[in-house]
């Protein structure tokens, strides 16, 4: 048929035929994707992602695409909440944008359904509860009942 892998590896690229070059590229591609990445390669990919996320415009571009709100809208929300989470009132260290999932069930929001800025913990809490007032109310009742039982037992 043609030259084997060992023979192709020895030949300089400019001496390979187009068919051999295409076969060599395909073999390299399958070899690259069939092996798990090394720890150095994983670290390099993670560092590349960290640098990309650290760019000042990264979050704003994502907000504009995903929630259809501008940087000014986010700053307005941040000022109206005094830099604190709309749910727990803690200072916002890592900020997430909360929106009504019933309004826009897909990946992107319409922009009108943005409710506020939350910390990561509160955003996770609402997400795990499925934005259900009933679930959150039941959880509150459960915690209050446990607290009252505990205080009665220690008295």
**Quick one: pLDDT band at residue 153, thresholds 50, 70, 90?**
low
**Helix (H) / strand (E) containing 96:** strand 95-99
Give start-end residues of each CATH 3.40.1800.10 domain in the chain: 67-130
**Quick one: pLDDT band at residue 134, thresholds 50, 70, 90?**
very high
Helix 39-54 vs helix 58-66: angle between axes, to the nearest 10 degrees? 80
Helix 58-66 vs helix 71-80: angle between axes, to the nearest 10 degrees? 90
Q: What is the CATH number of domain 67-130?
A: 3.40.1800.10
SS3 (DSSP) at 109: coil
Global pTM exceeds 0.85: no
| Helix locations, 55-96, DSSP H | 58-66, 71-80
What pLDDT, on a 0 to 100 scale, did the predictor assign at position 155?
56
Token pair for 19: 């068919």
- Per residue in 18-76, pLDDT (tens digit) is 888 888 888 877 776 666 777 888 888 888 877 776 666 667 777 888 888 888 888 89
**Close Cβ partners of 129 (under 8 Å, ≥ 6 residues apart):** 135, 136, 139
Rounded Cα distance, 38 and 35, in Å:
9
| pLDDT of residue 4 exceeding 80 | no
- Per residue in 90-116, pLDDT (tens digit) is 998 888 888 888 888 777 888 888 889
Rounded Cα distance, 136 and 119, in Å:
17
What pLDDT, on a 0 to 100 scale, did the predictor assign at position 24?
81
């Amino acid at each position: 048929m043609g030259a084997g892998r060992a023979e192709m590896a020895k030949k300089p690229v400019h001496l390979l035929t187009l068919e051999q070059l295409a076969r060599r590229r395909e073999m390299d591609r399958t070899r690259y994707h069939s092996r798990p990445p090394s720890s150095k390669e994983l670290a390099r990919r993670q560092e590349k992602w960290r640098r990309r996320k650290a760019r000042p415009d990264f979050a704003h571009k994502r907000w504009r695409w995903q929630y259809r709100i501008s940087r000014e809208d986010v700053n307005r929300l941040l000022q109206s909440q005094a830099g604190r989470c709309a749910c727990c009132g803690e200072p916002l260290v890592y900020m997430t944008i909360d929106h009504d999932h019933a309004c826009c069930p897909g990946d992107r929001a319409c922009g009108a359904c943005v409710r506020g800025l939350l910390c990561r913990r509160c955003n996770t809490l609402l997400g795990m509860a499925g934005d259900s007032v009933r679930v959150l109310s039941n959880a509150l009742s459960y915690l209050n009942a446990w607290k009252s039982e505990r205080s009665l037992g220690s008295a």
